[in-house]
A = this chain, B = another copy of it.
Amino acid sequence: MTFELLATDGAARRGRLTTPHGVVETPVFMPVGTRGTVKSLTPDDVQGSGAQIVLANTYHLFLRPGPALIRELGGLHRFMGWDGPILTDSGGFQVFSLSKLRRISEDGVRFRSPIDGAEHALSPEEVIAVQQALGSDIMMPLDECLAYPATRETAEASLALTVRWARRSQAARRAGAPSAQALFGIVQGGSFVDLRRRAVDETVALGFDGYAIGGLAVGEPKALLYDLSAVAAEALPEDRARYLMGVGKPEDLLEAVARGVDMFDCVLPTRNARNGQAFTADGPLSIKQARFTRDPAPLEDDCACYACRRFSRAYVRHLWMAQELLAYRLLSLHNLHFFARLMAQTRAAIAARGFGAFKARFLGRYAVSSLTLGRIPEHGHISDREA
């Protein structure tokens, strides 16, 4: 895998990742296909929305249907019918957020499956082996994802464990058969600026194909998310892609791009679609609202997605009220299209060195959120939790 930096505009970067399954123009948003499917959509729908790469969850696929089955059926690309690039996460975040009775040791994690209660163990080496069976284009090493808030002592110990696991992941990958699969490093460090910087130094010293900023979007204040992203991005090498895991809302994407982040993933567009929310340039709307009952307009004016080209808000609301499956699908399709378009506009703005103006214009119109965002300085002070 290669990463080319094509242009910059302040800290914002316009780049290009080349993977075994195709090129990814950055900044990029990756739709989440948790169990090998972006919920309610076919691979063709996902591609048609403008998505270039999808994320799949190692944790979910490990539990069901299992890596051996996916390998036997030709790997994850073939299994899910997606020919483009795939990034698989390490499962670390899900072990911490979904599993009961999880236990962390130097060796790795032990946890119970939420499906059947069976106990499983995953070491850093096994997490690499699982992702090798899946055959994803970009693998992530097992990391410890701290809850927010965490003490400095906890964050420091956790960061050290994550770095030791990263080294073992790298060794496991080198020990395996030669492969075109890339491996990213994950920067942890809790909400402490110096620990984030230490995490960057120690992870970069190991030498990865790209770097993820982990342990954020776990409930911390927005200002902290933005500032810690900036701290990590500034310290990371210029010639590698930077991936902010689990982020986020449209405004978060733009704020993080402004701080030098290249890649994002989040369930937001598809999960919120299944809760009746459509993203629009004027802010999100809830199709449940009675004001859309007779509205002949599309979900979003001037949107070129299939849902907007073919159907009215009134129809989508009717489907929603009747709990018709097509409602979830049309809203998911539109939201993915919205996120892909936002990233395409972002790339064009950076290339034209007009990203700041584009971001201000977008956030000004995307009204609700901009009221909040206006109070957050672009590179302001870290919150009180820093010390």
> Hey, which bits of chain A sit against chain B, CB under 8 A?
35-37, 39-44, 60, 64-65, 69, 72-74, 79-81, 293-294, 296, 306, 310-312, 314-315, 318-319, 321-322, 324-326, 328-330
Contacts and interface: CB of A to CB of B under 8 A. Distances in A.
Contact of A314 (B43, B65, B312): B65
A301 to B, nearest CB: 17
Contacts of A44: 306
Contacts of A312: 73, 79
A306 B64 CA distance: 24
Contacts of A35: 318-319, 322, 324
Nearest to A332: B325
Given A69-B293, A294-B73, A37 B324 contact: yes
Q: Copy number in this complex?
A: 2
A69 B322 contact: no
Contacts of A328: 325
B322 A325 contact: no
The 7 A-B residue pairs with the shortest CB-CB distance in the complex, in nearest-first order: A40-B325, A81-B310, A65-B318, A35-B322, A37-B326, A37-B324, A79-B315
A310 B44 CA distance: 10
10 contacts: A36-B318, A37-B326, A42-B306, A42-B326, A44-B306, A64-B318, A65-B314, A69-B314, A73-B314, A79-B312
Contacts of A64: 318, 321-322
